[in-house]
Structure 1
Amino acid sequence: MGSIMICNVCNGKSFTHGKILWDALVNEWEINEFEREYINRQQGSRCDECGCNFRSLALSKAVMRHWSFQGTFQDFVKKYKSLKILELNEASDLTKWLKEMPNRVLGEYPAIDMQCMPYANGSFDLVIHSDTLEHIKEPVLALLECRRVLRKGGVLAYTVPVIVDRVTRSRNGLQKSYHGFPDTGSDDYLVHTEYGADMWQQVLQAGFDNVRMDTFDYPAAIAISASDGNGPIQRPLLQRLFRRV
């Protein structure tokens, strides 16, 4: 960890570090102690001033960079309050700022299925979600849908838990694994995909032109952002593309 960290949401300089992984989940993921430590930082370390965890800080960096904004996320939401935003399943600790933006739409499961969303083509400037995609059975289809509802010049920004020294793997055929709390057993929290260093490939499979990554306290927190210079994709074309993936 670096000697000085600054929160890009509020400029706070004090952080509290907690542990959130339990032994059964560590065994299911087959992760080592180094990996366990940085995943704990990703999920359990927070700014003492605003309460944001590290993945939220990486995510806010990705959003602000797309609009070349220099400052805090608190200031960003004030300057860009006219943006039309689709927040899916609450974007972790950024929700309390995003909900201040008057054109923000919150889409939550099960009412909203990311694999077939009810929004019109090219509806949003920003689509944002955090640690949701790993729970989607067909993540590329979900990314295609995110691309479809974006306006030209818009951006998709999201996080997934990433183990940086391995490649992405499906949990199909493996013991069921859940995120949440140790006693979580609902299929709403079932993990379909464990993401690794190649997590960016799904973004390109979904047809985006550009994919970038922003970090906070690497390798603890990585945010992915994607944009498409061709403008919104149409649903019939989306369905044809998905059949080729």
Structure 2
Amino acid sequence: MASFCRWCSAWARACASRRRRRPSASWRAGSAPLSTTRAPELASLRQLRQALAVLQPSALACVRARCPLCGPTLLVRLNHSEQGVRCVRCGASAVHLSLGAVLRATCPDLRRRDAYELSARGPLVAWLRREVRSLTLSEYLPDVPAGTVRGGVRSEDVQRLSFADASFDLVTHTEVLEHVPDDRRALAELQRVLRPGGLMLFTVPLHDAGCTRERARRHGDRIEHLLEPAWHTDPLRGGAGILVYRDYGRDLPARVRAAGFGEVALQLPHPPLPWLPPRAVVVARKDLA
């Protein structure tokens, strides 16, 4: 709780400082470099401001726990949704916590792995940087050719990856496939870039239904909506959000196996997260042959 209180205190001091002092013209224009000593503090303050924006006082709770990404910590619940549970130290969400716990249990030899993560920032990325032998990151930037780096971020379309066959030992992604128009092609591409025996761990929202339900289809530049459009928040670009193309059901493991993977299983984190129903992580292994 002390860490959370210090976090709140730092945020309050920063707010008071902004009220007392107008930024310089160069700061407002964005030309002044960000001090490396202040960058972590400002990042934490941004996280806290985002957290306070969704705070439901009746849900506020915290508990001592061990974060799989950063160690002993406090988990805080800011509201009654899954998105409201965070690690106070590293900011990991419930999804990151679940994937991190399952990855630690499944893959103890992380330091021997060349990994590919389908995002370019966040607590999971920071942890993987420390743990794996090498880490490749990317985001989907629709106006940037695959394999091109813009603003320090590599652009990749998971349906048509620019990597050579057998490039990685480990692939991770969280809440991505439901936003991909052709997820079967994406799964086949991810299987292609894995080395024999390589692992893919990922999460998607899972629904209590026997079969995956398609919500939309893409025909060139046109989108056909089969159901009322649903959107998820876009942490990279903001705006209206990212379209959900499907609701995954209990057939998801079979869908992954059909893309060429051998062993596929749904695994739950242990110990389970407080306050929330278990969040399953898909663990898929590419055959050795």
CA distance in 2, matches of 1:225, 1:17: 27
Q: Which amino acid aligns with 2:164?
A: A
Aligned with 1:131 (options 155, 175, 191): 175
Corresponding residue for residue 66 of structure 1: 106
7 and 97 in structure 1: CA distance in 2 versus 1, 3 angstrom threshold: closer
Corresponding residue for residue 110 of structure 2: 80
Corresponding residue for residue 50 of structure 1: 90
Corresponding residue for residue 215 of structure 1: 268
Deviation (angstroms), 1:7: 2.6
CA distance in 1, matches of 2:282, 2:184: 14
* Contact 1:61–1:214 (8 Å) recurs in 2: no
CA distance in 2, matches of 1:91, 1:196: 28
After TM superposition, the structure 1 = structure 2 runs for residues 68-147 of structure 1, keeping only pairs within 5 Å, are: 69=108, 80-90=110-120, 93-100=123-130, 101=132, 103-110=134-141, 111-147=155-191
CA distance in 2, matches of 1:214, 1:18: 26
Larger Rg: 2
After superposition, what is the alpha-carbon deviation per residue over 1:174-209, rounded to whole angstroms, capped at 9, x for unaligned?
12211007x8425xx111011233322211111211
* Contact 2:69–2:127 (8 Å) recurs in 1: no
Deviation (angstroms), 1:165: 5.5
CA distance in 1, matches of 2:209, 2:78: 23
Higher RCO (CA-CA < 8 Å; seq separation 6+): 1
Corresponding residue for residue 4 of structure 2: none
- TM-score between the two structures when normalised by the length of structure 1: 0.70
Q: Which amino acid aligns with 1:59?
A: L
After superposition, what is the alpha-carbon deviation per residue over 1:4-44, rounded to whole angstroms, capped at 9, x for unaligned?
8543223435311133xxxxxxxxxxxxxxxxx5xx22x32
Corresponding residue for residue 284 of structure 2: 226
DSSP 3-state at the match of 2:232? coil
Corresponding residue for residue 28 of structure 1: none
229 and 140 in structure 1: CA distance in 2 versus 1, 3 angstrom threshold: same
128 and 14 in structure 1: CA distance in 2 versus 1, 3 angstrom threshold: same
Corresponding residue for residue 17 of structure 1: 77
* Contact 2:64–2:75 (8 Å) recurs in 1: no
Aligned residues: 196
After superposition, what is the alpha-carbon deviation per residue over 1:43-66, rounded to whole angstroms, capped at 9, x for unaligned?
321122332112112211332233
| % identity of equivalent residues | 30
DSSP 3-state at the match of 1:65? helix
CA distance in 1, matches of 2:278, 2:102: 15
Deviation (angstroms), 1:122: 0.5
Corresponding residue for residue 246 of structure 2: 193
After TM superposition, the structure 1 = structure 2 runs for residues 231-242 of structure 1, keeping only pairs within 5 Å, are: 231=289
DSSP 3-state at the match of 1:208? coil
CA distance in 2, matches of 1:198, 1:17: 31
Q: Does residue 1:179 correspond to 2:235, yes or no? A: no
* Contact 2:207–2:248 (8 Å) recurs in 1: yes
Q: Which amino acid aligns with 1:146?
A: L
Q: Which amino acid aligns with 2:119?
A: N
CA distance in 1, matches of 2:259, 2:121: 21
* Contact 1:12–1:47 (8 Å) recurs in 2: no
Q: Which structure 2 segments of 5+ residues have no match?
A: 1-62, 142-154, 217-225
What is the root-mean-square deviation of aligned Cα atoms in Å? 2.5
DSSP 3-state at the match of 1:134? helix
Corresponding residue for residue 73 of structure 1: none
118 and 151 in structure 1: CA distance in 2 versus 1, 3 angstrom threshold: same
Q: Which structure 1 segments of 5+ residues have no match?
A: 20-36, 70-78, 232-245
